[in-house]
Chain A
Amino acid sequence: MEDNKQTRCFLCECYGEISDVVDLESIRKGLEHHPRIVSCEKVKSLCLEENIDELAKRIPLSPESRVLLGACSFLARGDAIITGLQKRGIDPKHIELVDLREGCAWIHRDDPASATKKAGDLINMGIAALVQRNYSEDLTIEPKQEVLVIGAGPAGISAAASLVKLGITVHLLDRAKTPGGLLNLIKKIAPETDGTPQHVEAFLYTVGNSPLVRYYPGSRISAVRGSAGDFTVEFTSGSDVKSINVGAVIIATGARVNLPGSLYRYKELKGVITGIELERSFKGPGMKVTSAVFIQCVGVRDADRPYCSAICCPVSLKQAIQLLEENPDAEVTILHRDIMCPGSVLEDYYRKAMEAGVRFVRYDQDTPPGILGAEQVEEIRVYDVITGRERRIDAELVVLSSPLIPHDDAARVAELFDLNRDIHGFYEVRSLMHPLETTKDGVLVCGSARWPVLARTAILQGEAAAMKAFALLNTDQLTATQISQFKERKFSLALVDRQACTGCGNCVAICPYDACSLEADQGAYKSTVSQMRCTGCGSCVSVCPNGSIQLPEQNALLIGEMLKAAFS
């Protein structure tokens, strides 16, 4: 294979850190006659600014020019060297960094002869990589400076309010006629004992009085097209059909309360109600009872729904305290499997409930409490795990603490936006470092749509999602590299050889980001890769039966040549 690539090699001595172990002079001599290498020289230290200056002068700015640096690792000073050269006009794609310090000299100080051989091999691998490397093209778009927020609950409203402050136009959609979401149904917010839903009004005021907010109550999304930076969303608002163009989407659709069905004789006996019904009476005339029993974990933490909804314990504590406030002589008991109140605020709240006189009885999943009574609740029988005895508790009111579950149309929204959902039906987010990003770039999820949370956390997540959306859009030019969260110099996008592709669809099945798809091309199916979605992981490469899909920066030929050079 003939090409006119000119590789210049620079070996860093690192003031002896490398050259004391690795015999750089013999490597340099060996490379002088290498057919690929134009020049090779040793430098005392590559990473000093003046040396980078000197280095940049010796590298011609031609597209054929390649640079091989034998220095420390990318994570040590290598990154700084490449960035320095990039500032001086040298394309970082044409630089190959060979790690001779962390990867060789420092770990093989006992055996200089072998370390020198290894360094030679590593440099040969670097040359092979430079020769075989191809480059992905990057796609550039102009992001729309508008954001769609779906859901006007605490998460959605706080996201909208934060974006408005940053000067971003927000389209706020809600399925209901009034904003507020689940907050409309409750009197006080747990665990803020003095907090009321009116606290959200500060946000509502910002949202309601800003010219940058377009609020569409009673709407339903019908179609979504496009990708991060440029989504087109069609929806119906009332009887109107509208279409908007946004750069990012924040999903804050929340969750709904699961009704207990026929569990614990709900709907059959008078006095058996759910927590949300109790809230309704708190908002209305109030609720004055002499004895009440809360049952936790109704229809949750079992085989069908094996998660903890996380909000029901604080909510029941709040309601129990409230019942005691209305009638201090009332007997209030919480039957629980475990009280889930982590953190200092919630733990304080639990202690406050105990001090207020709420009694706690622990029951077992296998022996759920029984409800006695003919028409009205009279008594609860429960096997107390701690004492090992059955207890009888008089009760006028039984409150079933039900979990939050995904909304019924969560599946529809997931399908419209192409999102993954977890086994419980909540939207799946990316790993540890990307806690609000869904599996589609440019679509963020916050609040209870992501996972059941208390209002305080929902507001926090809404603000975080707003910042993430702002960070994505706050630019005139958006490249595919910026959109995916991996802003890396060596970023690559999978590339399909359409002549060789047989259209088997393996890549479509394996792609973790749904970037691959099949499209009809002259009577056959051919794979195609969405540049906006591809993150360059290379999953498709390893399942392609004939190697027709490749990462240009790390193609099969390159790996093969590197392997050959590894022990040359």
Chain B
Amino acid sequence: MTQEILLSDHAESTRHNAAPKVVVFACKWCALIGADAAGKNKVQLPVNFRVIPVECASRVEADAVIRAFSSGIDGVAVMGCHLGGCRYNNANHRAAKRLELLRPLLDTVGIDSRRLFTSFGTAHEHHQFADVIGEFYRRLQDLPPVQAWSRSNMNDYRRGDT
């Protein structure tokens, strides 16, 4: 991920704060079932989210999240099974840890880490999925627009660190 991409694409995405663009990486054993059930029950959801099914939440690498932000997406949600209930021998537990490690990195480059939403086992039922999506939407709407990455962000971060 280069600095140019982050700079160029974010300017556009910040304009649509009322309807933030969200990508949901949904574990097919849990959140995808929740999303499907939401459809079956015809729960009305905000329109601007796209679901990308993944085998396991652990498939979602830091790069995919950063790539999503750099292609102008306002929020990334990673939804997996509850911790301890992973189909893949607790792979989601490690994914949860990895995604937490990603947060300071996002903050450093000027993307509020609250734009990365993780849910483990909280989106399996249709109403849960709807609640989680709604919660994330409200959070994104309240957040200030994404600041393009700049040297001063970096300096702020460094000062805060020392």
Contact = CB atoms under 8 A, between A and B. Distances in A.
A425 interface: no
Contact of A512 (B42, B50, B60, B90): B90
Interface in A84-135: 99, 101-103, 106-111, 114-115, 118, 121-122, 125
A102 B50 contact: no
A253 B43 CA distance: 51
Q: How many interface residues does chain B have, given as a range?
A: 35 or more
Interface in B53-84: 54-56, 58-64, 67-68, 71-73
Given A107-B44, A563-B71, A566-B23, A554 B64 contact: no
B89 interface: yes
B56 A539 contact: yes
A544 B63 CA distance: 10
A439 B67 CA distance: 34
A106 B42 contact: yes
B59 A537 contact: yes
A562 B23 CA distance: 10
Contacts of A564: 71
Contacts, number: 134
Contacts of A551: 55, 59
A76 B89 contact: no
Interface in A494-521: 510, 512-513
A538 B39 contact: no
Given A102-B40, A563-B73, A536 B35 contact: no
B148 interface: no
Contact of A542 (B42, B43, B62): B62
Contacts of A527: none
Interface of A: 73-76, 99, 101-103, 106-111, 114-115, 118, 121-122, 125, 430-433, 439, 486, 490, 492, 510, 512-513, 535-539, 541-544, 547, 551, 554, 556, 559-560, 562-564, 566-567
User: Which 9 residue pairs are nearest across A and B when measured between Cβ atoms?
Assistant: A102-B39, A538-B59, A542-B61, A512-B89, A537-B88, A114-B47, A537-B56, A539-B58, A566-B50
29 contacts: A75-B33, A76-B36, A99-B39, A103-B35, A103-B39, A103-B51, A106-B40, A107-B42, A108-B45, A110-B44, A111-B47, A125-B50, A430-B89, A431-B86, A432-B85, A439-B89, A490-B55, A510-B94, A512-B88, A512-B91, A513-B89, A536-B55, A537-B59, A539-B95, A542-B60, A554-B55, A556-B64, A566-B50, A566-B52
